[in-house]
Structures are given as structure tokens and as C-alpha cells.
Chain A
């Protein structure tokens, strides 16, 4: 369970987050949605202790993120930010292997290597395993980074716009993989998404944010509503039901 209590954030005088309190139960896929500047990434960074907490408290399974040793948290939460400027000449398999660092401290035995191989296979990277990262396309590199975060084997997996750079097929596969991780392995997925339809199709829970505040929390059926979406995104879009699924026609 992730408990966020009265969290505010100020950066260079600008108020990024306003007094956010939110409890996310363990398990399932939770999507953070909202327009640019809503504070989704900032909130994710705070939860994953990548930025220092200014006010309020955040606890993950009872552990305060600002007071728990980083190496302990690294075995409970994995985070992938969107602005990864990885220019390293590492091979894909080596990068994914570093996901095991919190557990192995760098010594990969047979069991650890099997986990790395499984992660590589799961994200369809087998053919690329021996390639250097700087020879890959943006989408391939993104998949390698997601595989590394997955390979960390944590209860909580947090991804900031992981669909960036992915084509439709790999975007769909990634969302499917995350869904299976939540259903099959009981992992909790927390994901920032831009495309509201991906959130509607795959998430158990949608947190809609705007201007540093949480506007609404609910299931896809509750959130995918023309009035509510207009309040969040600031413009009117058509919402249709196709085959029992809510679809937002936001393009025109």
C-alpha cells in the first residue's frame, strides 16, 4: 500500500503539488493521467524517493520513503523515469543485469542470471542482448530500460510514460505485460500515461490530476466520462462505448 499524506512540492517558487493525500492499495495497475504540468511525474518521483520530500509523508508498505535506506527500498520499488539520457556503451544484457544489483550487489550467480535471461526474453530483447545501448533505436533502448526495472523484481514497479518511443505493437505488448505482472505475479504497477485510452483499457485504477491536485480517483468506468475529462484536460472530447469498452475520441 502506498500512503501519501499532505504532500506539497515547490520548485523554484512554483507550486508543483498542492497538499496531496492519496492512498493506493497494493496490487493492480494504477495509472496517473492528466495534462502537461499536472504534477504526475513529480508525484511519482517523490513516491520513488528520487526527489526529496518537502512537506507531508509518503509510506510504502509502512516504510517512510524519506527515512528508509535506499538499498532497502531498492528491493521493494523499481522506478523508470522518462528522461533517461543513457549514453553508455553497455550491452543490453549487462544493463538488464544491473537491475539485479539491489539483490546481488553485483555478483550474478546462476539463479540471478536465469532471472536476467527471463527478463530479456519477456521484453523481446533476446536478439539485441549483445548489442551496445548506443547502437539501439529509442524504442529498443526504452524496452531495455523497462526490462531492467522489471528485473529488479520488486513488489512495486513505477514507470513514467514508458510508452514514449514505443511503436503501437510494443506499446500494446508492454501494457499487456504490465497487466500480466499485476494479475499473475501480484505486482503493483504505478504508471504515468499520456494516452487516456491506454489507461482506460489496462488500468484498474485511474488517478486524474490537474495543476498539482488530484481531481478524481476511480475505475475506468468512473473516470472515463466526458464532463470529468473536460475538467481534467480542459477541453471537450467524445466518449463512446464500443463493445462494452469506453473509448475516448480525443483526436478531433
Chain B
């Protein structure tokens, strides 16, 4: 299965490199410097960005589900991404000259705080009602998002905030996506602690019983979720559903032992985002549909299919 998924992702990458408004053909790539420039400045960064963001968001979703012990939450809807937007907005208002890296830092800190608040709320909810957690997440994310919109409206920054709330790759060029490699590093970190994350998914008591430093792992997990989400929001914008449907589908196929499942989640996340971006490029050619919109539709369909087939505990 790993091999098939890997091959599918490689195929998608190849397609992504050669699909776009500018003509690009494999045969002339190495003879024509203009073609090479288009490849290196635009197509390759865009493809890499989609792969990194997709893998990162899927892993962030998986880790968040582990921390909340609920399969139906994800950072994009439960307040993490909205908190990151809040951080960026504050950055723009207070330090207008801040660099992209500085904005990412602010977004990460805000996302960390926002996710922590959500987890504190989620732990107080009765465990017999698993759907309450994602519902509260949606409300919470909505409230934070509304705050962002309100402040942006008062400060006349609504146009600017749309860049972060609506994920899209068309603006990705060499020099403007490299922060996403941080997400890649965090994905590797998540894989490194995969066993601990699996134990955490068994609950706090089992974790403590097996000698895990539960609080430290909780903070590490929070950091992984928050920083990946924040960096993605800063560079690409919010992309919904990746963190929700990819871990759920992989859990059905490969189980919850993260040592084995985590790479699969990353690769499938990358593939899903890349496929949706390619779809967005060709649907209204030569115009583009933002990847956030495409995933809103595709992700919702997959999510409904999952809901119809799976009990909340499953």
C-alpha cells in the first residue's frame, strides 16, 4: 500500500510541474532557459509548497486528534488557524514592518494559546458525547474568526485578511514559500515521537502508567499543531479538511499505530492537497480556483462519506 501511495504522489508531482497557464514541456526544458526559469521560480516551488503544506496539515490534524482524543477535530476549524490569523493581524497592526518570519512567529504563538484554550475546553466535555468536541471546536473557531474579521474591518484590513483565510498556491514563487520547510521538520519530529503519540491516544492514565511525561508531550504536540498551522496560514492561507479526512481515512486502512500510519498520513495529505491544487488550475483554465475552495468541496464529500460509514468511536 505504501508503494502505491508513494507512486501516486510522484505522479501528481510530475503532473503539477507541467500544468499551468505558461506552456512548459519536458522536451524543451533543458534547452530553453526561459522554460527552466518558469520551472524553478514557479512550478517547482508551487509543487513543493503543496506537498509540504499538505503533509504538514494532515500530520497537524492527526496530532490534534491525538491530543483531544477525538477523531473529528482539526486545526483548520477548531480555532488553531483562526488564532494564527489573529496573531498575524496583531503583527500587521502593531509591527507593520514585520518580516514573514516575524509574522509566522506571532502567528505560532497565537495559535499555541488558542489551541491550548480549545483543549482545556474540550477536556471538560463529557466523553460519552464525542460529537460535542468538534461542535464546540467549530463554534470556538467561528468566534475567534469573527474577532479577526471584526478587528480587520475596523482597521480597514479586510482585503488583507482574505489572503490568509483563503488558502491558495497561485502566489507561491521561489523565495516566498521556504518557511514551509519548518512544517517538514515538524512532521519528522512527529514521526520521531510517534510511539509516544500513540500511547497518548490511549489516554492520560495509560500514558502516566507507562512512564510518559504527559504534560511535556502535551506541550510538544501543541507546538507541532500550532507551528505547522501558523506557518501554513502565513504562507498559503487556511486550507480546511486536510487535517480531518486524511487521518480518518488512513486510520480505517492502516490503524492507529502511528509509527506505521504517520508516514502514510503525510504522503496522503500531500497528495490530496496537490491533487486539489491541480484540479483548481484546470477546472476554469486559464483562471484558477483557490485550493481552499476546492478542498472545501472535495473534503466535505469525503467527510460525509466517512460519517455515513463510521461510528463516532470507530
Q: Which residues of B contact A202 (CB under 8 A)?
A: none
In chain B, what residue has the closest Cβ to A45?
B205
Distance (whole angstroms) from the CB of B145 to the closest CB of chain A: 30
Q: Which residues of A contact B314 (CB under 8 A)?
A: 87, 89, 134
**Is the pair B211, A87 in contact by a Cβ cutoff of 8 Å?**
no
Query: Considering the chains assembled together, what is the distance between the CA atoms of A33 and B311 in angstroms?
Result: 37
A50-B209, A73-B211, A91-B257 in contact; A85/B198 too (CB < 8 A)? no
Query: Considering the chains assembled together, what is the distance between the CA atoms of A74 and B251 in angstroms?
Result: 28
Most buried by A among B127, B196, B209, B211: B209
In chain A, what residue has the closest Cβ to B254?
A89
* A/B pair count, beta carbons within 8 Å: 78
B34 within 8 Å of A (CB atoms): no
**Is the pair A89, B208 in contact by a Cβ cutoff of 8 Å?**
no
Query: Considering the chains assembled together, what is the distance between the CA atoms of A57 and B313 in angstroms?
Result: 39
Query: Considering the chains assembled together, what is the distance between the CA atoms of A75 and B196 in angstroms?
Result: 16
Interface string of A83-94 (1 = CB under 8 A from B): 011111111001
**Is the pair A89, B210 in contact by a Cβ cutoff of 8 Å?**
no
**Is the pair B212, A90 in contact by a Cβ cutoff of 8 Å?**
no
Most buried by A among B69, B251, B255: B255
Query: Considering the chains assembled together, what is the distance between the CA atoms of A233 and B142 in angstroms?
Result: 52
Query: Which of A50, A88, A105 is in CB contact (< 8 Å) with B208?
Result: A50
Query: Considering the chains assembled together, what is the distance between the CA atoms of A163 and B173 in angstroms?
Result: 62
Q: Which residues of B contact A85 (CB under 8 A)?
A: 127, 203
Q: Which residues of B contact A78 (CB under 8 A)?
A: 209
Interface size of A by CB at 8 A reads 34
**Is the pair B255, A91 in contact by a Cβ cutoff of 8 Å?**
yes
Most buried by A among B196, B199, B205, B313: B205
Query: Considering the chains assembled together, what is the distance between the CA atoms of A243 and B211 in angstroms?
Result: 45
**Is the pair B257, A79 in contact by a Cβ cutoff of 8 Å?**
no
Q: Which residues of B contact A95 (CB under 8 A)?
A: 202
Other contacts beyond A78-B209, A86-B206, A98-B195: 20, CB < 8 A: A49-B208, A50-B205, A73-B211, A80-B209, A84-B203, A86-B202, A86-B203, A87-B69, A87-B313, A89-B252, A89-B256, A90-B198, A90-B257, A91-B255, A98-B198, A101-B210, A101-B211, A101-B212, A105-B195, A106-B196
9 A-B residue pairs with Cβ-Cβ distance under 8 Å, sorted by A, are A50-B209, A85-B127, A85-B203, A88-B202, A90-B198, A90-B255, A98-B202, A106-B196, A134-B313
